Structure 1
């Protein structure tokens, strides 16, 4: 059997790319606002707080409302 004399270089630790806060902040604000709007439509879009007339939104989010524990009846 032949032996090889291959040596490997020591591995350097992986580098983590750092994102500046200025790059993340607009996206975080956008998704935060989007989640608040979604929470409103699932949790409160009916009755006295309704922004849209009719029961269309209520019927679209009805099962999600019950799944998340919001009362609706």
Structure 2
């Protein structure tokens, strides 16, 4: 292929979209809140800071609790 033919081949460009922080912030806060709620139920529920009575929540998160290194019994 000659240099003239190589110069006429279009080179694709990559356009990276710009997402304003104003659009991301509410979703980031929502996901962070859900993560904190999940962490509470896995780490503290049915312990010293139990909100709900009974062992139902403890049984649902029991394996996740051990997987993350939280002792429960």
TM-score where L is the length of structure 2: 0.84
Q: Compare 11-20 and 26-35 and name the one that shifted more.
A: 11-20
Q: RMSD of the alignment, in Å? A: 1.5
Following superposition, the deviation at residue 37 of structure 1 comes to 0.3
TM-score where L is the length of structure 1: 0.84
**Structure 1 residue runs of 4 or more that deviate by more than 4 Å after TM superposition:** none
Q: Whole-Å Cα distance in 2 between the matches of residues 12 and 47 of structure 1?
A: 58
Q: Whole-Å Cα distance in 1 between the matches of residues 67 and 50 of structure 2?
A: 20
Structure 2: runs of 5 or more not aligned: none
Q: Whole-Å Cα distance in 2 between the matches of residues 30 and 18 of structure 1?
A: 21
Compare the two structures and name the one with the higher helix fraction.
Answer: 2
Count of paired positions: 68
- Where does residue 24 of structure 1 map in the other structure? 24
Cα deviation code 1:3-57 (max 9, x no counterpart) = xxx7753314210011000110000000000000000000110132001111000
